[in-house]
Structure 1
């Protein structure tokens, strides 16, 4: 028990340090702009994604989760609040001038209650827990209660991602095996426009971090996981092998769960794309640009499709699928 508590404390320290990591002035400026637009409804701005991993924000789209207590207070309208709750999250796009250049960002709106629920194994799809298991920074938190709550949700997301992936792994596995499989499976629950090898890129961007996380993330699993050898140095943690008892019944159950996550997740992903294409200016062009940057597949919408993105989205999605934009 004491060892498990120590592992939990270690996991919390890692996530806490990541949330408090310094970010660029551009990231802070975007967080402030989101707060300016939506006022006290914003409890926190969580920064994540490729710009955080690479430390680059020039000419790219910054990714945020905007954390709220009430969808109604944030949207100030029943329809958008209802859609945010029914098919979460609503996603918005902003552009703003900053030090002689234009900053671009998109921000997904998630309630604190949804963050906790969807970072747990009870979530229907891994949209939240698979993303929140990756490094995140918190450039704005309303107060320390919000900061602590976000930390606890992200710790839960790390545990959920590791625990839901563990039954799919062979009896002996490495940290790399665990996290690349986790990200690969989560991508398969969406019509991703990601290139092959994306899960390896995510792991490769923070090898040391995932090596440090693995044992702590798996501590307390109902099926014990043992680690081979000493782990005094980071090199030893990177190459450490873990062992667990492969239970055929548990593996079959996990495979069925992931199968149904794929079915539900892809349906929700399409609905989300259709909805989000309508929630910000030039949304359809943004979605098509995003798909092109990841897949290399380009398609030009007509003037009618730009005027009616909700009606046009299913046909465009099918055309892109036929071209191979989605895997």
Structure 2
């Protein structure tokens, strides 16, 4: 791995956050005393000055699932369909956190991942807000540093040559492709605005990532790259539905969170009915056709 890229990612992950976020991460890790290795803070809340009333996003990285859950069915669910997602509250803030093992976190940030959900997120800024020790910190940084090269290496063969700000255009094209690989409750153009928030950051990380991958993107022809994106996009949307079903068992009030997120990002006014709370899995599934028709999720 490029020393320049590792250093850039390590510095970004170490940037300060609201002290309440750090306290929440420590409290979250304390829930898994025999397994917690690192806690990462990511998502749109990184850019918010006030966190009150928002749903914070964390990834909890554990040594392995058996250490995290014992013999519970949750260990099997996390291994077969990673990650598990749970709600959390601390110090007046609310959050959800996803659980991945160190091995899965490294794999799902890399080229061999069978879906886009992890590397699409960690190619964007995040913060390492808690680590068990120096080794856990280094392992987390190394995993996150795989995300940007994965995104850019996958996107390069799909790009027409010449014109525009090459790195900026590359990032925007990559994020547009990833947004088509999940059920996203976002307004049109959201994938483009991610880069516009901090184009200098994406230029720095992009240059370091491109220097690291060198000629690697050309192992995929444009036709093969487009075919792989289609496969990842189909699998990503299927996995989104499966994870939604799993979250109905792991996430109390999950259907209310789903409605809140869609309303916040897509400008809709979905109201959850009492029967949908009683049967959240069925209730969530019944929302999907309506949301597709209205364009709230794509």
Choose which of 73, 79, 90 in structure 1 pairs with 2:73.
79
For 1:282, the equivalent position in structure 2 comes to 253
Q: Distance in 2 between matches of 1:103 and 1:217?
A: 35
Other-structure match for 1:145:
135
Q: Who wins on radius of gyration, i.e. which is larger?
A: 1
| Superposition pairs of residues 172-321 of structure 1, within 5 angstroms | 172=162, 174-221=166-213, 223=215, 250-321=221-292
Work out whether 1:120 is the aligned partner of 2:107: no
Pair 1:68-2:62 in alignment: yes
Residues 59/284 of structure 1: CA separation in 2 closer, same or farther (3 Å cut): same
Which sections of structure 1, spanning at least 5 residues, go unmatched?
A: 226-244
- Residue 165 of structure 1 corresponds to 155
Secondary structure of 1:45's aligned partner: strand
Structure-2 separation of matches of 1:192 and 1:205: 19
Match of residue 129, structure 1, among 110, 119, 137:
119
Instruction: Report the CA distance between 1:145 and its aligned residue.
Output: 0.6
Following superposition, the deviation at residue 28 of structure 1 comes to 0.9
Runs of 4 or more consecutive aligned structure 1 residues displaced over 3 Å after TM superposition: 220-225
Question: TM-score with structure 1 length normalisation?
Answer: 0.85
Matched with 1:11 is: 5
Across the two proteins, how many residue pairs are aligned to each other?
296
Cα distance between partner residues in 1 of 2:225 and 2:259 = 34
Identify the residue that residue 23 of structure 2 maps to in structure 1.
29
Distance, in Å, in 1 between the alignment partners of 2:184 and 2:244 is 11
Is the CA contact 1:26–1:57 (under 8 Å) kept in the aligned structure 2?
no
Query: Taking structure 1 as reference, are residues 85 and 298 closer, same or farther at Cα in structure 2, changes over 3 Å only?
Result: farther
Query: RMSD value over aligned CA atoms?
Result: 1.9
Q: TM-score, normalised by structure 2?
A: 0.93
5 Å-filtered alignment, 1:31-70, equals 31-70=25-64
